[in-house]
Chains A and B, each alone.
Chain A
């Protein structure tokens, strides 16, 4: 691939997905796009880029964006954001929203579904203390391919063994041949939608908790600022935003502020009540 072709691809991905493809990530291009060339009968990456330049093949364009933005994930990834949900965010939301008994959660880069399903399992464990509650988990991703995988809820034995306690594997999954499928009741808890974070998401309404982890790292600073400001607008007044360990709001928006105690947790810059001060944390019986 020539320098000009790489530059074209870089601009294309930036415009379509916000992905800031750095020169160090050039190696990824070959490994992720060569299978598309093969599938579409294109002889080389150069031919693929020529086809993109013509701008007439929407399916090819989507395939390229999806291939370059698909990221690794696993159940209860990084553990702390899920401990925080179980021990602090959920108990506080149960108190704060007690009168309307409604909780809205958004996984903004849900990939193949492990994050929303991890939250669904924690909610299922907490169900006895949530009678009559209406809980909505909206899960979005730029890639329709990964959303289809997430909806199916089928995982290999490698995928279910990283982060998922075996007790929960046999409690919440069914064995389907060589694979494991998450229970229908948990699949029903998650509403999957295709969404490019560069586009408007005001139609989703406000959320009590937003997980947007390990996606901002691929954006440049102006794009991060834009997305964070728009995420803040969708966050309920005392809501919580969780970012990845390598991500922050500092220097990018003044609408959100890091929580003083919990790394990776962000709230509106001047919330009426600080999270972690409204109630003693309740513990859900089963640990992760």
Chain B
């Protein structure tokens, strides 16, 4: 596991409020945070510098989270980032679809600090509190 200050997390969401909330929580864990407001901007960010983790919204303009994830997983080095879908699409079908597309975890909105931290722990990006 990388040290928190060496871990880069990309927050992809068209809501500036969600990006700000997520940034605050992730930065409090000691990680570096960058932001993108849709899937195509996120793909450009990943091409420039592949992050260690991506917190990914589903419904966004230009390119949605699902299309982004499929494109990411087919791109060079795109298999490495841990992807946590973070969305209001909270039904079983959407979760199963996201997992099939290559998501590592799934966060149902609304989320809080405990949930985001727990999910980052589960994908091995945060040292377990236990």
Contacts of A174 in B (CB 8 A): 92
Per the 8 Å Cβ criterion, residues 19-66 of B in contact with A are none
Contacts of B108 in A (CB 8 A): 157, 161
* Closest B residue, CB atoms, query A178: B90
B107 within 8 A of A: yes
* Closest B residue, CB atoms, query A83: B130
Given the interface contacts A78-B130, A79-B128, A79-B130, does A161 sit within 8 Å of B111 by beta carbon? yes
Contact B90 A157 (CB under 8 A): yes
Other-chain contact of A166, B95, B111, B112, B130 (Cβ < 8 Å): B95
Alpha-carbon distance between A191 and B65 when the two chains are bound, in angstroms:
43
Instruction: Name the interface size band of chain A.
Output: 10 to 19
Per the 8 Å Cβ criterion, residues 86-112 of B in contact with A are 90-92, 95-96, 99, 105-108, 111-112
Alpha-carbon distance between A169 and B95 when the two chains are bound, in angstroms:
10
A204 within 8 A of B: no
Instruction: Name the interface size band of chain B.
Output: 20 to 34
Question: Lowest 9 CB-CB distances: which A-B pairs, in order?
Answer: A166-B106, A78-B130, A79-B130, A161-B115, A157-B108, A162-B118, A80-B130, A175-B92, A170-B95
**A-to-B contact residues, CB < 8 Å:** 78-80, 157-158, 161-163, 165-167, 169-170, 174-175, 245
Can you report 18 A-B residue pairs in the complex whose CB atoms are below 8 A from each other?
A157-B108, A158-B112, A158-B115, A161-B107, A161-B108, A161-B111, A162-B118, A163-B118, A165-B105, A166-B95, A167-B99, A169-B95, A170-B92, A170-B96, A170-B99, A174-B92, A175-B91, A245-B130
* Closest A residue, CB atoms, query B105: A166
- The residue among B107, B111, B115, B129 with the most chain A CB atoms within 10 A of its own CB is B115
Contacts of A169 in B (CB 8 A): 95, 106
* Closest A residue, CB atoms, query B116: A161
B84: min CB distance to chain A, Å: 9
- The residue among B92, B107, B119, B122 with the most chain A CB atoms within 10 A of its own CB is B122
